[in-house]
Amino acid sequence: MGTISSDSASVFEPISPTHTAQPSREVMQKLPDEPVAIIQPSGSWSALNLRELWTYRELLYFLIWRDVKIRYKQTALGATWAIIQPVFTMLIFTLIFSRVAGIKSDGFPYPIFAYAALLPWIFFANAVTTSGNSVVGSANLITKVYFPRALIPAAAVGAGFVDFAVAFVMLLPLTFYYRVSLSLNILLLPIPTLLVLLLALGVGMWLSALNVKYRDVRFAVPFMMQIWMFLSPIAYPSSVVPERWQLLYSLNPVTGIVDGFRSALLGQPFKWTTLGISAAITLGMLIYSSVTFRKMEKSFADII
């Protein structure tokens, strides 16, 4: 006695229709026999769930689209920045490395020689930097909604690739200007392009996961990229490296990729060994980083 029952009728209040909505609603859809999803602690060794990634491909598209849209919002020059960055770097390199330091360029005009390498390098450096910070920058998403976390660094790489495509267009006037004739080698351009994309994804994904736990990554990456650039044949041809160091040198996957770009764009013969080493290291990196990412993503929401 002496209690108000909120769902019983009262003389003061008409029966509210909502309280009559008991769970006896037989509008039910038929439930599947097998669970659609099972949530339980996963083992520490599991690779990326490719099937799941495929079902989320539309989200990947939207995340790339978002990054591309907002990148140049409220900038006066807009997407021109994608061209300005490599072109100005090319000019500075020409001035310093070619004119002042007198670095050889395998017989090609230095500007186009540098541009052919800066194209993949600037993409790579930007993609690794932005995707390395991408997971931490998406803390609000990670703590509020589920989707495969790998989409976040992947979208950052994908958005960078759009810039790469824009900067690529600039290559045409350069080849005309310096009268570099394109050879059939250009048909093989997709090979180094795919490799640089996968390498950026591998390194970016690994750094993005590491960054969640160790914010040191944010400070280390720009520095690391600078050193990496000088360890790669960007400002100079890989031929300046002495023969006995060549093998060690080609363990840097960027070497094979950049040489591949130069071969495809400038018509130099392909160095298949170097490219093969690059491909193997790139794939190894990608597998390693997706396993690491998978292992760490479980705790993202808890520690971000």
CA-CA distance, 15 to 124, in Å (whole number)? 66
Q: Which stretch binds other proteins (CB under 8 A): 87-95, 178-186, 282-290, 293-301?
A: 293-301
CA-CA distance, 250 to 279, in Å (whole number)? 11
CA-CA distance, 31 to 35, in Å (whole number)? 9
Closest distance of CB 156 from other proteins, Å: 14
Is position 147 an interface residue for other proteins (rule: CB under 8 A)?
yes
By C-alpha distance, which of 193, 190, 174 is closest to 266? Answer: 174
Is position 184 an interface residue for other proteins (rule: CB under 8 A)?
no
Whether 152 contacts 201, CB under 8 Å: no
- Stretch 196-225 residues interacting with other proteins (CB under 8 A): 212-216
Closest distance of CB 224 from other proteins, Å: 14
Is position 76 an interface residue for other proteins (rule: CB under 8 A)?
no
Is position 141 an interface residue for other proteins (rule: CB under 8 A)?
yes
Is position 13 an interface residue for other proteins (rule: CB under 8 A)?
yes
Closest distance of CB 84 from other proteins, Å: 21
Whether 114 contacts 180, CB under 8 Å: no
Is position 52 an interface residue for other proteins (rule: CB under 8 A)?
no
Whether 7 contacts 15, CB under 8 Å: no
By C-alpha distance, which of 71, 279, 288 is closest to 158? Answer: 71
Interface pattern 240-279 for other proteins (x via CB under 8 A): ----------------------------------------
Is position 44 an interface residue for other proteins (rule: CB under 8 A)?
no
Binds other proteins (CB under 8 A): choice among 51, 73, 179, 244: 73
Closest distance of CB 276 from other proteins, Å: 35
Is position 104 an interface residue for other proteins (rule: CB under 8 A)?
no
Q: Which stretch binds other proteins (CB under 8 A): 54-62, 126-134, 201-209, 282-290?
A: 54-62
Closest distance of CB 2 from other proteins, Å: 4
Nearer to other proteins, 69 or 99 (CB): 69
Tell me the C-alpha to C-alpha distance, in Å, between residue 118 and each of 88, 93, 159, 183.
10, 10, 18, 20
CA-CA distance, 272 to 188, in Å (whole number)? 12
CA-CA distance, 113 to 39, in Å (whole number)? 53
For 246-253, the CB contacts below 8 A with 24+ separation are 250/274, 250/277, 250/278, 251/277, 251/281, 252/228, 253/195, 253/199, 253/277, 253/278, 253/281, 253/282, 253/285
Residues 6 or more apart whose CB falls under 8 angstroms from that of 75 comprise 81
Is position 12 an interface residue for other proteins (rule: CB under 8 A)?
yes
Closest distance of CB 200 from other proteins, Å: 23
The residues binding other proteins (CB under 8 A) are: 1-13, 16, 18-19, 21-23, 25, 27-29, 31-32, 35-42, 58-59, 62, 65-66, 69-70, 73-74, 140-147, 212-216, 298-299, 301-304
